[in-house]
A and B are shown apart, each in its own frame.
Chain A
Amino acid sequence: MSQYMLLVYEEEVDPAVQAERERELPVFVELHRSLREAGLLVGVQRLHSVQSATSVRVRDGQTEITDGPFAVTKELLAGYYILECADLDEALQQAARLPMAPWATIEVRPVMAADEWLRVAREAGVDLPDEAVQYLA
């Protein structure tokens, strides 16, 4: 067996279209459940909107923090970390400690908690029981 990472890219859309997408949640719950039962699912997490992204670089020993996602140029995604931190400041500090921070850019994105994912879908009109959370992420 080998592990694979599936990276999901999507455009940010207006609230009406987004609400439509949120209403797909039962399909996600079902899929995640079946992947889990088949022993295929190692982990899945939804990220908050790219609007909440912060980029960290270390250059000449100085930590540079900028609002916004990493602007795609010639650098390519090389890996990821998931850290449990008290708040954004701790996450940024840890990002600056990564050995590749002097040559790479670390995009720091908050993970959306499963119960928030469920809440957002409910606001868009989905009716799902609280238990759905355990299958989601």
Chain B
Amino acid sequence: MTRDAQPADPVSAAVAGAFRDERAIVLAALIRQVGDFQLAEDAVQDAFEAAVTVWRRDGVPANPGAWITTAARRRAIDRLRRNRSVADRAERLAELKRLDAQHMEPPMDDESTIVDDRLRLVFTCCHPALEMPARVALTLRALGGMTTGEIARAFLVAEPTMGKRIVRAKRKIADAHIPYRVPADEELPDRLRGVLRVVYLIFNEGYAATEGDRLVREELCNEAIRLGELLCRLMPDDPEVWGLLALMLLHDARRAARVDPSGRYVALDAQDRSLWDQDRIREGLAKLERAVRLRSPGEYQLQAAITALQIQAPDAEATDWAQIAELYGALGRLNPSPVVELNRAVAVGLAAGPAAGLELLEPLLGDPALERYQPLYAAHAELLSRGGDAEGAARAYERAIALSANAVERAELERRLGALR
């Protein structure tokens, strides 16, 4: 019942379609109604299992979402009758029975209730009191509709391990009373940043790693982009939500060019640009434009803008490095980090010449956080070499080579070192 399964018959296809389109909506409403994440999830699962049998016997209903809603609610009533541990059990049961009695085909919730329910679900799954891997797993399961097995495979852990992690998280939600609501205004910016971090982490897990099943990893990127699109629909007035979606789309557009046919990583300026997905790039640029119109810069927008400038230039030479340097400066002011400062130094070096770049880079050589950071020494070597200091450049390349864990990267550094002599 997953999105990549190939349904063999119309009933399976209808169930798979309802699972993809309706599950998160039904689940989000039911959690609010029963007040228990686990019980609601079990009831929704029951409903989908029942759908396979009943739809095969009676035909696919005209409104599959309404059918699933009713079936899940009735399963929840059954489960609530047996489960005494849920808080306010009697009130919850009465409310569910009232909803059930209202109509055979329940009136669907209005759009704003659906939006609110999904936001509640987002913020509960990404709650800071849950460990990060559990936030990721819950989000993928509850909002993305991935199964525990699929998530386990994507994160290269055993399925029982992932299952336990999810069960434990749901237990904590119940026992500690993690609220099922959208945070108050004063907490919202902080909590939203936490949600964006979860989504970007899901994307990077699919994008950055080169090990593991490639299809599974692509699925993670797609899932993260779908979550990004969902957040844009739910919170269209937040520029960072659009910025994150833009950033993911612009990275994803280059997915095919990032790895050569032998599976090796290819750096941006060496990538075959004909492999870039132009539709995705256009989509990403449109989202970035939408973000910028909201006139409140943030870290994802700035990163997306940097990526956009690199992508839009015909090659590394013609890239607008001065503007990229400025964007890195803004990013550093927002979120001070030696890595951002290094990137700024490199951009300045390309825009204003090696001496200007070195002036920014050299103070970083004493930063303990970067002591074993290979890109620092590679960038130092590059700037020294361009400034005519072959001897200094050779020493920096040697340092970078010693710190390099990746054979392809090391070979490239050795080639550059050789070219100095």
Contacts and interface: CB of A to CB of B under 8 A. Distances in A.
Given A54-B129, A68-B131, A87 B85 contact: no
A110 B177 contact: yes
A41 interface: no
Q: Chain B interface mostly helix, strand, loop or mixed?
A: loop
A89 B184 CA distance: 10
Interface of B: 84-85, 128-131, 134, 168, 171-172, 175-179, 183, 187
A110 B176 contact: yes
6 contacts: A51-B171, A52-B175, A67-B129, A67-B134, A89-B183, A119-B84
Contacts of B183: 89
A58 interface: no
A67 B128 CA distance: 7
Interface residues of A, number: 18
Contacts of A68: 131
A49 interface: yes
Nearest to B178: A88
Given A51-B172, A119-B84, A87 B178 contact: yes
A53 B131 CA distance: 11
A5 to B, nearest CB: 23
A116 interface: yes
B61 to A, nearest CB: 37
B387 to A, nearest CB: 38
Task: Give the most central of B129, B177, B178: most A CB within 10 Å.
Answer: B129
A92 interface: yes
Q: Chain A interface mostly helix, strand, loop or mixed?
A: mixed
A87 B177 contact: yes
A36 interface: no
Given A51-B172, A52-B172, A67 B178 contact: no
A67 B179 CA distance: 15
A86 B180 CA distance: 12
Contacts of B84: 119
A52 B85 contact: no
A104 to B, nearest CB: 18
A87 B130 CA distance: 15
B171 A89 contact: no
B176 A52 contact: yes
A52 B134 contact: no
A21 interface: no
A88 B183 CA distance: 12
A65 interface: yes
Interface string A92-111: 10000000000000001010
Given A51-B168, A68-B131, A86 B176 contact: no
A48 interface: yes
Contacts of B176: 48, 52-54, 88, 108, 110
Task: Give the most central of A67, A86, A116: most B CB within 10 Å.
Answer: A67
B360 to A, nearest CB: 26
Nearest to B132: A67
A51 B169 CA distance: 9
Task: Give the most central of A68, A87, A89, A110: most B CB within 10 Å.
Answer: A89
Task: Give the most central of B131, B178, B183, B187: most A CB within 10 Å.
Answer: B178
Interface string A32-68: 0000000000000000110111100000000001011
Given A52-B171, A67-B129, 17 more contacts: A48-B175, A51-B171, A51-B172, A51-B175, A52-B172, A54-B129, A54-B176, A65-B129, A67-B130, A88-B177, A88-B178, A88-B179, A89-B179, A89-B187, A108-B176, A110-B175, A116-B85
A75 B136 CA distance: 32
A51 B130 CA distance: 10
Contacts of A92: 129
